[in-house]
Amino acid sequence: MTLAQSFKSYLTLEGYHPTTIRNYVCDLNYFLAWFELKLKSKNLPFSDEEETLVFFTPKIAGQYQSFLLKNDLPSSTVNRRLSGLRIFTRFAISQKWLKINPIQNLQNSSRNLPKDETVLAKFKNFLEAEKTSTGRLTSANTIKNYLSDINSFLKWLELAT
């Protein structure tokens, strides 16, 4: 079973929302593709299995965050990718694939904050109220992802006009 498949099974068992699972698995695959290129550039072996994680160090984690930031991704995307990786590292530690948490010292990006935080705050309140009134299974992570998507759209709209 690949790392992504194992992670998806873990997220499902933990009761994460299907959208969150899809996003986190996508984020892990994005990291693994970058990680593979990084290892191969240093003539180190890569496989999509747990033994490769021996090369996942705090230095590599910092390089990954720098890579994300240098590519002008919105901070919401950078932060979500790091969030997915944080959940994955907790899972990998629980499976004893990692001995230390290589991303424990990484901080979320704070650039590109929304200009109209009031709109986002109102939308967040709406989602939380809808969750309560309809009984829908909307996790905190799902709400955070919706807010990230809206923030990205607002930035695009600002650039498009």
**pLDDT of 87-102, one tens digit each?**
999 999 999 999 999 9
Q: What is the pLDDT of residue 110?
A: 64
Q: Which residue has the tokens 């967040």?
A: 124
The least confident of 1-15, 88-102, 140-154 is 140-154
Q: Angle formed by the axes of helices 3-13 and 75-94, to 10°?
A: 90
Domains, the chain, with CATH or none = 1-110 (1.10.150), 114-161 (no CATH)
Please, what is the average pLDDT of the chain?
83
Q: What is the pLDDT of residue 113?
A: 45
Q: What is the pLDDT of residue 114?
A: 47
Asked if 65 and 78 touch (Cβ cutoff 8 Å), the reply is: yes
